[in-house]
Amino acid sequence: MHITSHVSTNPQPTTHSTDIPSNFKSAIQGGTVLKRGAKGALVKELQNLLNEAGANPKLVADGDFGRGTENALKIFQRQHNLTTDGKFGRGTLAKLEIALQTAATDHADHSHDDHDHSVTTGVSTRTTGSTSIGGRLMSAVDGGQVLKRGAKGTTVKELQQLLNRAGASPALTADGDFGRGTENAVKAFQRKHGLGADGKFGRGTLAKLKEVLQLGVGTSPNGGTTVDNNNGGTTVDNNNGDTTVDNNNGGTNTTNDGVGQAIENQLGVFGGSLRRGGKGNAVRELQTLLNRAGANPKLTADGDFGRGTENAVKAFQRKHGLGADGKFGKGTWAALKKELGVDFKASDPLSDAGLSGTASTHYAYKKGKRLGKIQVVRIDGKPVEINTARSFLKMREAAQKDGVNIKINSGFRSYEEQKRLYDLYKAGRGNLAARPGYSNHQHGPAVDLNTRDPKVLRWLNKNGKKFGFVRTVPSEPWHWEYRP
C-alpha cells in the first residue's frame, strides 16, 4: 500500500452537533410514537438524526415515514438490541441519544489531532480526522500488534469506538481500557462473524471489522515500536508509550443498557423462574444476556424459551457450579449479573401506579372449590388479582406508548358477585356467566377489556402474549387471561 500524508497549513476542523431538538424530544417523551405512514416535521427530524447516527443508505429528509425510514430504524434497533418493530418511541429515543453522544465523542477526540492529515492509498483517498476514526488502531494491528485484555491507550479507545459502531451491546465506554467488557464485545463480534472467539484483536478480526464498517483505509505509522503479543508479552500502546497494567474494574461497562430489567421485574416482583415453554420479553432478555456471557451456540433472541435456551441455561449453571436444571431463577440470575457486571433494581408497577399497600384479601374459587385467600387491588375501579394487576399495568404502559388505551371492564369477582351475574343470566336479563365457583374471574387470571375499540383488540392480538395475557374464549374477544 502506498501512503502519503501532508499537513494542511490552514486546518479547518469539522464541527459536529448531536443535540436532539427539545421539541422533538418532548414529543417522543410525551408519548408520541413515529411509525410508517407518519408525515411532518418530527419525521424529518428523525430522518436527520438517523443519518447522523450512521444510517446506510442515507435517508432523504423529506418528512415522509416510508419503507426506507422504517428499514433504517429497524437496523438501528437491531444494532442496539431493541425490539425491532420499526417504530420510534421513548426506548429508541434513549438509545439514539446515547449513539449520537458516542459519535460526538469520536469527532471531538480526533478533530484536534488528526484533521490536518490526508491519507492517499492505491485504493481510495479520503481525509482522516473529524469524519473518521481507527487510523492508529489499523496502523498498530496491521503492524503486528494484538490488543487483548489489560491493554490501555488510544488504540484501545479507537477499538471500543469502532465496536460500538458495529453494534456492540451493551455499548462500551470508550475509555481506552481493555477490560472484561471490551473482551466480551470482541468475542461477541468474533462469534457473530465466524472467527475464533478468543477475545484478542489481531489482523483477522481487524480485517472483518473493516469489512463490516466499510473502512477502506489506514493511516501511516507515526513512530514507535510495535510489540507482537501473540506470545504473551507486555502490550505497549505506541501512540502514548503507556505500558498496560491489570485493572480491577476489568473494563466492564457497569452502566448497563437496560437489558435485564424485565428479568429483574419478573423474578424480583413475581417470583418463580423462567423455564422451557415460557415466552415474552423477559425470555428475550435472558437469551440476549446468555449470548453476552458466551452461550455457544449463540441463541436467537426470539423470546421463546425452547430446548436451545434450556441447554444454554444448563451450560451456564454447570460452569458456575449451580444445579443444572435448566430453570432460570434468582440464584442463576445472581450469577449471570455477577458474570456480566450489571445490576438492577426491581420496579414494581403497583408502586409506580400508587397502589402499594391498597390490596385487600378475598377467597378464590376454582372448579367449584374454595381455595385460599388472594390479594386484590383496584384498577379502573375494578378489583384485579395482584399479579394479574402488575402485568396488566406493564402491558397498558406499553400500549399507551403506541397510542392505545386499554381499560378493564371486569376483573376479579367474589362468590357473591359471580352468583349475581349468573342469576341475571338464568333470568334472561344478563350476559352469559359461569356458575358461581366456576368462573376464571374468581381465582385471579381473567379480565374483560375494552376490545370494542378495534385498536385495542389489534394491539392485544399482537402483543398480549409478551405480557402473559392470552385470549381463551374465541367467542368473547373481550375476555383475556393472565397465564405467564
Structure confidence at residue 405 (pLDDT): 93
Look at the chain and count its residues: 484
Give the tens place of pLDDT for each residue, 310-358. 999 999 999 999 999 999 998 999 999 888 887 776 666 776 667 767 8
CA 106 – CA 267 distance, rounded (Å): 38
Q: What is the mean pLDDT of residues 20-40?
A: 86
The domain spans of the chain are: 22-105, 132-243, 261-340, 350-482
Strands 117-120, 236-237: pairing kind: unpaired
132-243 and 261-340 share one fold = yes
Better-predicted residue by pLDDT, 310 or 7: 310
Q: Are 226 and 153 in contact (CB under 8 A)?
A: no
CATH architecture of 350-482: 2-Layer Sandwich (3.30)
Return the CATH number of the domain spanning residue range 22-105.
1.10.101.10
CA 164 – CA 159 distance, rounded (Å): 9
pLDDT beyond 50 at 15: no
Q: Are 449 and 472 in contact (CB under 8 A)?
A: no
pLDDT beyond 70 at 30: yes
Amino acid at 7: V
pLDDT beyond 60 at 161: yes
Structure confidence at residue 99 (pLDDT): 78
CA 174 – CA 326 distance, rounded (Å): 36
Q: Are 156 and 237 in contact (CB under 8 A)?
A: yes
Side-chain-side CA neighbours of 439 within 13 Å: the count stands at 25
pLDDT band at 59 (very low <50, low <70, confident <90, very high): confident
Structure confidence at residue 97 (pLDDT): 83
Return the number of other C-beta atoms located less than 10 Å from residue 358's C-beta: 13
Least confident of 8-17, 180-189, 246-255, 441-450: 246-255
CA 5 – CA 135 distance, rounded (Å): 13
Give the tens place of pLDDT for each residue, 199-235. 999 888 988 888 777 664 333 333 333 232 333 333 3
CA 309 – CA 275 distance, rounded (Å): 9
CA 455 – CA 461 distance, rounded (Å): 10
Give the tens place of pLDDT for each residue, 390-420. 889 989 988 998 899 999 999 999 999 899 9
CA 294 – CA 263 distance, rounded (Å): 19
CA 442 – CA 418 distance, rounded (Å): 8
Q: Give 141's DSSP letter.
A: H
pLDDT beyond 90 at 484: no
CA 346 – CA 137 distance, rounded (Å): 40
Strands 469-471, 479-482: pairing kind: antiparallel
The CATH superfamily assigned to 261-340 is PGBD-like superfamily/PGBD (1.10.101.10)
Structure confidence at residue 18 (pLDDT): 53
Give the tens place of pLDDT for each residue, 269-316. 556 788 999 887 788 889 999 999 999 999 998 889 999 999 999 999
Q: What is the mean pLDDT of residues 152-175?
A: 84
Q: What is the mean pLDDT of residues 429-433?
A: 86
Return the CATH number of the domain spanning residue range 132-243.
1.10.101.10
Closest CA to 364 of 379, 382, 350, 385: 385
Structure confidence at residue 219 (pLDDT): 31
Nine-digit cell string for 335: 450469577
CA 11 – CA 296 distance, rounded (Å): 49
pLDDT band at 457 (very low <50, low <70, confident <90, very high): very high
**pLDDT, mean over the chain:** 77
Three-class DSSP category at 344:
coil
Segment (H or E) for 218: none
Nine-digit cell string for 384: 384485579
pLDDT beyond 70 at 172: yes
Structure confidence at residue 182 (pLDDT): 92
Give the tens place of pLDDT for each residue, 97-148. 887 776 554 444 444 433 333 333 333 333 333 334 677 788 778 777 889 9
CA 312 – CA 306 distance, rounded (Å): 10
Closest CA to 191 of 67, 307, 328, 295: 295
Closest CA to 86 of 64, 69, 62: 69
Q: Are 41 and 96 in contact (CB under 8 A)?
A: no
Segment (H or E) for 119: strand 117-120
The string of DSSP letters for 49-111 reads HHHHTT-SSPPP-SSB--HHHHHHHHHHHHHTT---SS-B-HHHHHHHHHHHHHHHHHHHHHH
Q: Are 137 and 162 in contact (CB under 8 A)?
A: yes
Nine-digit cell string for 463: 402483543
pTM over 0.85: no
Using a pLDDT cut of 70, give the percent of the chain over it. Answer: 77
Structure confidence at residue 103 (pLDDT): 56
Closest CA to 173 of 221, 116, 105, 121: 105
Structure confidence at residue 16 (pLDDT): 43
Q: Give 441's DSSP letter.
A: G
CA 131 – CA 412 distance, rounded (Å): 60
Q: Are 176 and 158 in contact (CB under 8 A)?
A: no
Structure confidence at residue 224 (pLDDT): 31
